[in-house]
A and B are shown apart, each in its own frame.
Chain A
Amino acid sequence: MSTPEAGLLVALVGNPNTGKSTLFNALTGLRQRVGNYPGVTVARKSGTCDLGDGQKVELVDLPGLYSLAAASPDEQVVIDALSGNIAGDRRPDAVVLVVDATNLLRNLFLASQVAELGRPVVIVLNQADVAKEQGLRIDTELLSRRLGGVPVVLSSAWKGEGILDVRRAIAAALDQKAVLKRVNWPADIAGALAAVGKAATADTGKQVSVADAQRLLFDTNPSTAERLGWTVAQRESTLRSARDRVRYSGYNPMAAEPLVHYAHLRVVLEGVVTEGLGKAGQTAAVDRLLLHRFLGPFLFLGIMLGFFASVFWLAKFPMDWIQAGVDWTKAVVAPQLDAYPMLQSLLADGIIGGVGAFLVFLPQILILFLFIGILEDSGYMARAAFIMDRLFSWCGLNGKSFVPMLSGFACAIPSLLSTRTIEDPKARLATAFVVPFMSCSARFPIYALMCAAFIGPLYGPGWESLVMVGMHCVGLLFAVPTAFVLTRLVLKVKPQPFVLELPRYQMPKPRDVVWRMWQNAAEFVSKAGTVIFAITIIVWALSYFPRDASVAERIKAANPTAAEEVVKAKVQAAYVEQSYMGRFGKAVQPVFDPLGFDWKITVGVLASFPAREVIVSTLGVTYSVGEGAEADSQQLRKAMQDAKWSEGPRAGSPIFSLAAVLALMVFFALCSQCGPTIATLAQETGGWKWAAGSFLYMTTLAWIVAMLVYQGVSRLT
């Protein structure tokens, strides 16, 4: 990060999905997330950009927007960045307007608004490759002249074409300070703007710019007035008479701005684009299939089902390899430490057993993100929102809530941030509240473990994928009524407009998809080395200590004739039971008894509150401490399959019965077990109230539903 005085500041501004972040990455060498749907970037990100001649500037990537009449928080970020509102932030020295070369008219509307700010600009016509394919020829020189001599360059950011031209153009803009040609406002509108500007300047004591005067006059939302500190009492009569003046001149004041700008742009663009022969593109044809009245929803479900089946199928072999690697490591390391039983147990049972059990799921995480990356990059995300909007509107949300919810299947944290694209604060709150219900990738390992160890062997691979899909729906099943109650009864959200651009389809770009997989894999692995590692060691230590030799002697004395192996196993079991963890788990277990959890699962559940993936490694530890160094992963699975209740009314029956397995998965589907999610929720909703509410609600709900599942299923089976 460079300091404010360090140098010049350049901002990337443009419509959503035009390729700003792709261009940002090409210019700075950084890796911001990109994706083929509007609203990927929701916050400002900065980096350093070399202008080709050694000169360096600070470049900021911003969310996309269609108009400066901003309504949602992500759009407000752009307004603030352009006017330098945020404390400690400067106004940009130049603005790079990123324009979709296939739709100049609409994209230049925003450019024309930005022109009013009077900043030096560069116009980048991005996705030039697509324009060329469609047979569009763009006369950049003519466009540049018509726009008052600002640099206009073509680029294909994702191919890296034209990037040097962009660098040079930025340098030229900073140098020559060419500004965009402004529209000619009709006399009455110009007069009204001047009157508003003058009154606002007089009332607030601040110099109110032309651009601000336009926002004050044309916008219904009061954010600009509030920013300037122009009170309702002060502005009411001025604005009314100014708007009346516009109205008498024949324009609706709320429509005057687009009408004047678009009329201006039609003249500017006259003869700039020539349509030659080109391919029409497949978007319409693909949509005819994927959005078909009857086929569409089935394809939607089919894609999801096929995906979960393939995750198992594809991940099986690499998982076996990792498993074999973990087992091999254990087999090599453990015998070296026969002389130090404690260290042996720490390494073999704790670290290798626990962290290894977690790492085994890496291939599945990779495939999950491969799928998500393809969805995001192909253009299907916006279509999924289109298909689902009806269901969402029924519970008071809209398709804009859909993107955060769908990406919630990857991870709740970026999804919570992406709720910023929703205008209405209440709708945003309701969406943020239900996002953590979506089955994030951290829930995947526990489902996969349970399915592989119990559902698959008992009922076959078909049921395995079906249960997997089912588990991913459980959260959604409860999110919908939750949203309904929240929006209709608690927050009373007004119906939300839903205007969403459906972008054209494209072949997912391997580079972007692989990058998304890689980033998530790296995060997964680093989590294994940090949170999982730490909690695993704590759990291990608590289930290893104390080790009082008297326990072993007592058992040996009680079983004088038993074989050595049997005695050893009994001793280990006794150690674990009287460990701190055993005592604690047994003390708390009654709380989870109605859910069919024994004390080991109880310990796992409690240890998983900071991060739900921990369950897999804690089960790995609690079921392998005492198994000795020979226990490999197959045996862990077997240890779980063989585990039986030792006391109480269920004594002798398996702990992991179908009822308990389902209850455990349902519990994890619904419970709020993620520290970062709670923190992000608090940050996005502006306080701990909703975060605490979410935690209590989800955790209670998880307990109740898992209890019902256990009680119901165990009575049926």
Chain B
Amino acid sequence: MTPLSQLLPGQFGKLASLNPERGVDQRLMALGLLPGMVLKLIRKAPLGDPLAIEFGGQVVSLRLAEAENLIVDVSADCPIQRPRQP
């Protein structure tokens, strides 16, 4: 279990938990980022923040601070469900 913020670019993870009380996480859930969803950290912005993550066939930008509360499971066998690149 790792915070999403600590993933390396290119690494996959399965969302284990988020904090539904937070406004950001509510927005992400509306976009379909729910526990169990496979996501990929595509890259960090040139200055190290924000991040670009991909899930469910879409690419979304998210700040490092916000990614800290998203806990992902990197050990799970993720890439099987690899989301299609838009």
Q: At the interface, yes or no: A390 with Cβ under 8 Å from chain B?
A: yes
- Say if the beta carbon of B16 comes within 8 Å of chain A: no
Does B61 sit within 8 A of A, measured CB to CB? Answer: yes
Contact present for B46 and A258 (CB under 8 Å): no
Whether the Cβ atoms of B47 and A391 lie closer than 8 Å is: yes
Contact of B23 among A103, A291, A497 (CB under 8 A): A497
Give min CB distance, B30 to chain A, whole Å.
4
Does B52 lie at the interface of the complex (its beta carbon under 8 Å from any beta carbon of A)?
yes
Q: What separation, in Å, do the CA atoms of A390 and B49 have in the docked complex? A: 6
Residue B66 at the chain A interface, CB threshold 8 Å? yes
Q: Closest approach, in angstroms, between the C-beta of A346 and any C-beta of chain B?
A: 56
Contact B63 A387 (CB under 8 A): no
Q: How far is the CA of A103 from the CA of B57 in the complex (A)?
A: 7
Residues from chain A with Cβ under 8 Å of B31 in the complex: 66, 106, 499, 501
- For A382, the chain B residues whose CB sits under 8 A away are 61
What chain A residues lie within 8 Å of B65 (beta carbons)?
495
Known: A497-B24, A499-B62. A387 touches B32 (CB 8 A): no
Instruction: Determine the distance from Cα of A274 to Cα of B30 in the docked complex, in whole angstroms.
Output: 24
Which chain B residue has the least Cβ–Cβ distance from A295?
Answer: B46
Is A389 on the interface with B (CB-CB < 8 A)?
yes
Interfacial chain B residues near A399, Cβ < 8 Å: 50, 61
Q: Flag if B27 contacts A66 (CB, 8 Å).
A: yes
| A280 contacts B by Cβ under 8 Å | yes
Q: Is the CB of B57 within 8 A of A258?
A: no
Smallest Cβ-Cβ distance to B63: which chain A residue: A498
Q: List chain B residues, Cβ under 8 A from A495.
A: 65
B76 within 8 A of A: no
Known: A106-B58, A498-B50. A393 touches B34 (CB 8 A): no
Q: Mark B39-75, 1 if CB is under 8 A from A, else 0.
A: 0001111111110100011111111011000000000
Distance (Å) between the CB of B79 and the closest chain A CB?
15
Interface: A71 (CB within 8 A): yes
User: Chain B residues with Cβ under 8 A from A292's Cβ?
Assistant: 46
Point out the residues of chain B lying under 8 angstroms from A109, CB to CB.
30, 32
A502 to B50, CA, bound (A): 12
Contacts of B61 in A (CB 8 A): 382, 385-386, 389, 399, 498-502
Interface residue count on the B side (C-beta < 8 Å): 35
**Inter-subunit contact B26/A69 (CB<8 Å):** yes
* Cβ of A105 under 8 Å from chain B: yes
**A274-303: which residues lie under 8 A (CB-CB) from chain B?**
275, 280-281, 283-284, 287, 291-294, 296-297
Task: Say yes or no: A499 contacts B20, CB within 8 Å.
Answer: no
| Complex Cα–Cα for A525 and B24 (A) | 45
Whether the Cβ atoms of A252 and B20 lie closer than 8 Å is yes
Which residues of chain B have C-beta atoms less than 8 A from A106's C-beta?
A: 31-32, 56-58
User: In the complex, which residue of chain B has the Cβ closest to the Cβ of A285?
Assistant: B85
B23 and A220 form a contact (CB under 8 A): yes
Residues of B within 8 A of A255 (CB): 20, 29, 34
Contact B50–A275 (Cβ < 8 Å): no
- Find chain A residues with CB under 8 A from B45 CB: 291, 386-387, 389-390
- Interfacial chain B residues near A262, Cβ < 8 Å: 32, 34
A102 at interface, CB cutoff 8 A: yes
Write the A493-521 contact mask toward B (1 if CB under 8 angstroms, else 0): 00101111110100000000000000000
Determine if A293 and B46 form an interchain contact, defined as CB atoms under 8 angstroms apart.
Answer: yes
| Residues of chain A within 8 A of B27, CB atoms compared | 66-67, 497, 499
CB <8 Å contact, A296 and B46 = yes
Instruction: For the complex formed, measure the closest distance between the CB of A292 and the CB atoms of chain B, giving whole angstroms.
Output: 8
Q: Which chain B residue shows the least CB distance to A275?
A: B84
**Smallest CB-CB separation from B65: which chain A residue?**
A495
Task: State whether the Cβ of A254 lies closer than 8 Å to any Cβ in chain B.
Answer: yes
Q: Say yes or no: B60 contacts A501, CB within 8 Å.
A: yes
Query: Contact between A390 and B48 (Cβ–Cβ < 8 Å)?
Result: yes
CB distance from A703 to the nearest CB of B (A): 34
Tell me whether A497 and B30 are in contact (CB under 8 A): no
Tell me whether A501 and B59 are in contact (CB under 8 A).
yes
> Is A259 interfacial (CB-CB < 8 Å)?
yes
- The 8 Å CB contact of A389, one of B28, B42, B49, is B49
Chain B min CB distance to A290 (Å) = 11
B47 / chain A contacts, CB cutoff of 8 Å:
387, 390-391
B46 touching A294 by the CB < 8 A rule? yes
- State the CA gap A292–B27 with chains docked (Å): 27
Instruction: Indicate if the CB atoms of A258 and B21 lie closer than 8 Å.
Output: no
Q: Do A281 and B50 contact each other (CB < 8 Å), given the known contacts A102-B57, A109-B32, A502-B61?
A: no
Of the candidates B43, B48, B56, B60, the one whose C-beta lies within 8 Å of that of A500 is B60
Tell me if B23 and A504 are in contact (CB < 8 A): no
Q: Which of B1-49 contact A (CB under 8 A)?
A: 20-21, 23-24, 26-32, 34, 42-49
Q: Min CB distance, B47 to chain A, in Å?
A: 4
Min Cβ gap B1→A in Å is: 18
Q: Give Cα A259 to B61, complex, Å.
A: 22
User: By the criterion CB–CB under 8 Å, are B63 and A105 in contact?
Assistant: no
Do B29 and A497 touch across chains, with their CB atoms under 8 A apart? no
Partner of A393, one of B30, B62, B63: B63
Residues in A neighbouring B66, C-beta threshold 8 A: 497-499
Q: How far is the CA of A339 from the CA of B44 in the complex (A)?
A: 73
Residues of A within 8 A of B49 (CB): 389-390, 393
When the two chains form their complex, are residues B56 and A105 in contact, meaning their CB atoms are under 8 A apart?
Answer: yes
Cβ of A501 and Cβ of B58 under 8 Å apart?
A: yes
Residues of B within 8 A of A280 (CB): 84-85
Contact B57 A498 (CB under 8 A): no
**Which residue, B21, B29, B43, has most C-beta atoms of chain A within 10 A?**
B29
Chain B proximity of A244: nearest CB distance (Å): 15
Instruction: Verify B58–A291 contact, CB threshold 8 A.
Output: no
A291: chain B residues within 8 A (beta carbon): 43, 45-46, 52
Query: Are the C-beta atoms of B30 and A69 separated by less than 8 Å?
Result: yes
Docked pose: A259 CA to B46 CA in angstroms: 34
Query: What is the bound-complex CA distance between A344 and B26, given in angstroms?
Result: 69
**B26 and A283 within 8 A (CB):** no
The 3 closest A-B pairs by CB, nearest first: A254-B20, A390-B47, A67-B30
Q: Given known contacts A497-B63, A501-B59, what 7 new A-B pairs fall within 8 Å (CB)?
A: A102-B86, A134-B84, A259-B34, A387-B47, A393-B63, A497-B23, A499-B27
**Can you sample 20 A-B contacts with CB below 8 Å?**
A66-B27, A66-B30, A69-B26, A103-B57, A103-B58, A106-B58, A109-B30, A254-B21, A258-B29, A283-B59, A287-B42, A287-B43, A292-B46, A294-B46, A382-B61, A386-B52, A387-B46, A389-B49, A390-B47, A499-B61
